[in-house]
Structures are given as C-alpha cells and as structure tokens.
Structure 1
C-alpha cells in the first residue's frame, strides 16, 4: 500500500502488520514521534483519505478525533492506500 504525506508530497510503501511510523522510518522519512505506544500524541496526524486501523484497543484519541480522521501513526497500520496530513514530516536522505 502507498502512503502519501501532505503537504510535503513524500510517499512510502507499507504493508499489513507494520505501523505507519515504522514503515515511514524504513523509507527514510521522519515523522514526529516520542512514546511509540499511542499515549503521548506526539505523532498525531489527520488521515485525509484511505482506511487505517489502530493496533491497540485504546489509542490516545477521543471518539470525536477518530471520527474526524485523526490517527496515531506509531500504533496505526494502513488498510488501503492513504493520504495523511503530516506538516512536520521530512526525508532523511
């Protein structure tokens, strides 16, 4: 599955079972992160299109935030191609 980051236009591939944060890092893309377990919200970003699933039952998001498309890439995986709004993403290459 392909993930595109806006507004940078950076993109990377991911597969089922891999968190979006790990897939981005494997592609040389840095996303904001800290705890890596879904509690600190440092990585919070908005899903603009596509489907995701959080791999933990209670990620640090409210029901309203989930409904609005907010996700935590450190504990989320793609279920389809995605477009995410991640203004602070950058390539390390």
Structure 2
C-alpha cells in the first residue's frame, strides 16, 4: 500500500500514512502535537487547512460546510491522505 508524507507547516517533523490511516494518528505516532477531542469529526477541535495535498473521508459528509471543504479545510482526526499533505492549524 502506498504511503504519503504529512507535514505540519512550520514544523520540521514529518509523518507517513497510508490511505487507511488518519492524519491525526500518523502525526501522533511521530510526536507531532495536534489538538483533538471527539475523534469522529463532529467537534471540530482538530480543524486544519490543507496547504497542499488531498484527503478523503470514510463518512459521506464530515463536520465541514461545502465552503470550508472548497477552501481546503479538513478534520485530521478522520481525514485520510490520498496525496502528500502539508497542513496548518486553522
């Protein structure tokens, strides 16, 4: 299975994840701190913005508006990479 690089803008550490691993889980594995609460996409504590890359979700419509999705916002607790990702905390 292909793996993708995950980088938080402004931090040196990088994580790797396959398309079945959430961004949050991958970041946690390498010690990158990211706020999270519910871990199911409803509380929005983990809200981030993709500067590069793409993600997918297992649920049809996570807790994001259509405008937020169009503007590159994502929920790392449930977002799975489908390309290399650069993210920043929203």
Fold similarity call, TM over 0.5: yes
Equivalent residues of 1:7, 1:86 under 8 A apart: no
Q: Which residue of 1 aligns with 2:15?
A: 12
Q: Which residue of 1 aligns with 2:31?
A: 28
Please tell me whether residue 46 in structure 1 is matched to residue 40 in structure 2.
no
Uncovered stretches (5+) of structure 2, i.e. residues with no partner: none
1:86 deviates by 2.6
Tell me how many residue pairs correspond in the alignment: 87
Please tell me whether residue 67 in structure 1 is matched to residue 70 in structure 2.
yes
> Where do 4+ consecutive residues of structure 1 move more than 3 Å?
none
Output the aligned Cα RMSD. Answer: 1.3
Q: Please, what TM-score do these two structures have when normalized by structure 1?
A: 0.87
1:4 deviates by 1.0
Provide the rounded CA distance (Å) in 1 between the counterparts of 2:60 and 2:87: 21
